[in-house]
Amino acid sequence: MIYDAARLPLPARVRADLCVIGSGPGGATAAAAAAEAGLDVVLLEAGPLVTTGEMNQREEEMFPLLYWAAGGRTTVDRAVHVHQGRGVGGSSLHNINLCKRIPPEVRASWKLEHLPPATWDALYDEIEVALSVSRIPSLNRHNELLKRGCEALGWAGGPLHHNRTGCVASGFCEVGCSFDAKNNALKVMVPRLLSRGGDVITHCQALRVLHAGGRVTGVEAAVIDEATRRPLGLVEIEAPRVCVAASATGTPALLIRSEVPDPSGTTGRTLRLHPGVACAGDFDEPVNAWLGIPQSWECTQWLDFAETAEHRSWIIPAFAHPMGLATMIPGHGAAHREIMSRYAHLAVFSAMLHDRTAGVVTPAGDLDVAIDYRPSAEDRRELLFGLAACARLLLAAGARRVYVPGAPAVVLGPGDDPFAKLPADFAAGDIDLTAVHPMSSVAMGDDPRTAAVDSRGRHHHLAGLWVADGSLFPTSIGVPPQISIYALGLHVGRAIAAAG
C-alpha cells in the first residue's frame, strides 16, 4: 500500500524487517529486491506521490512538486545549482532517461571485492531488460545540430540509449512525463515492491537513523506538510535493518546527523557533482529545441577516463524551457528581451565534467543539507575547455553567434576561436554551473580504515545499516548515473536479504 503520512494518526509507529529511506532508483530497487526475497519492507519518501495525470508540463507547477527547493538548491556559495528530485520515484521522475554503463576502465580502477566487472555486467543486463533500455530511435533538430558539429570537426560522437517505451517525443521530460512513457522507479520498481506486500509512506522525511549497542534499531522521521514543507509530527519505524538511499546529498547528511560512527572520516567528504557548463547558439533557421526527445546524441571527443587524462568533458544538447532559459542567458532589459525573442532559433550545448574535486556535504538542521563544492584549478580549466568545445561545435554546426554566459558574458561569431577568446580561469559565480548527477559522497570500499561502507553497500561500523544510491561510487563516473544506481539498488537489496 501507499500511505500519505500526513493522514496517519500522529505520532505513529510502524514495524518492518527493513526500512528503506528514499524511493529513487537505488531505494525503490533495493526495496523491491528485498521484498521479493521475503522481507517485510517499508519505503519512506519525503515528497509526494505524483501521478502521470498530475504532470501538466508547466514549469511553475512541476518544478516545486518534483525538485528539492523547487529546483533552486545550490552550493553554499551559490556558485553551482544542484538539481535533485523528490516524490515517489525520486529523480527518475524528471530525468532525461539516458542510460550509459560506467566505463569499464573506471569500474576496473575501483577494485571492489563484491563488485567485479562480471557482477556489474550481470546487474546491468538484468536492469536494462527490466527498464526496456533501447537506442533512441530518432534525432530532433537540436540533436541533429550536435551531430552536424561533430561531423564538421571530425569529432567523435554517437547515438544514446534510453529507458522509454511509448514515447511521443513531447520534449517535456524534465517536468515529468504526461504520457507515462518513462520506465522509471515509480512505474517499474515500486509496483514490484507493492506486489510483494511492501508499503510506501509519502511525505515522510527521515530525521535520524536510530541505533544502540552497535546496531540499528529503526528510523525517526518527520511528517512533512506539502504546502509549507514544515513538519507536522513524527513517525518512528522499528526495524533491525535500515537502508539509506536518500541521494548523494541526503544520505551523508542523514548519517552525520544520526551520529553514525565512521572512523575513516570519509562520510560526506568525497562528493562529486559532475558539474556542467553551457552556451547557446543562435541559428538562422528555427531549431525548436523544446520539441522531440531532448538528448539523443553525444560528443565524446574530449571524454577520457584515464586517471591522468588531460580532457574529461562529455558534451550533449541541454535545452531549457522558457523560464529556465530566461534565468541563464546574459543581458538585462532590451538586450535580454532580444535574445529571448530568438528562443525558437537557439540551440544549447552543455559540457559535463568527469570531476576530481572532492566536495563536502553536511546537515543543515533536521531537514536540509549544506553542499560545499569549490572546483579545483584543474577542474576549472577543464570546465572552460568544455565550454569552448561547446561553442566550437555550435559554430561548426552553423550558428551565426554564440552566447557564452558569465561575468562578463562573451558573444562569439563564425570567425572567432572560442579556445582563444574565453578566459583562462574563473572565480565562483563568474560562470553558471549546474549539477544534475551528485555522487560519491559515501564512497564504498572494502577496507574499513578508508571507507564507511563496503562493496555490498553494508556499513562497516554499524550493524544492520546499508546504503544503496549514487553515494556509493568511489569516484565520479563521468556519465549519467541512473542505470548504475538501479544496478546498485538491485545488488544491495539482494545483499540485505542474503545477510539475514
pLDDT tens string 134-152: 999 999 999 999 999 999 9
Q: May I ask the CATH architecture of the domain 2-68+86-131+183-267+442-499?
A: 3-Layer(bba) Sandwich (3.50)
Percentage of residues in the chain having pLDDT higher than 70 = 100
Q: pTM, whole model, 2 decimals?
A: 0.96
pLDDT digits (tens, 9 = 90+) for 14-31: 999 999 999 999 999 999
**What is the residue-averaged pLDDT of the chain?**
95
- Residue 49 in grid coordinates: 506521490
Q: Which residue has the higher pLDDT, 320 or 5?
A: 5
Q: How confident is the model at residue 429 (pLDDT cuts 50, 70, 90)?
A: confident
Domain boundaries along the sequence of the chain: 2-68+86-131+183-267+442-499, 141-173+276-354+375-427
Give the whole-angstrom CA distance, residue 198 versus residue 208: 22
In this prediction, residue 472 carries a pLDDT of 98
Task: Summarize the confidence of residues 490-500 as an average pLDDT.
Answer: 96
Average pLDDT over residues 380-393: 97
Grid cell locating 221: 522521521
List of long-range contacts for 406-410, beta carbons under 8 Å, 24+ apart: 406/330, 406/430, 406/431, 406/432, 407/431, 409/330, 409/331
Q: Which helix (H) or strand (E) holds 431?
A: none
Mind listing the pLDDT tens digit for each residue in 251-267?
A: 999 999 999 999 999 99
Count of residues making up the chain: 500
Nearest CA-CA partner of 436 in 67, 1, 8:
67
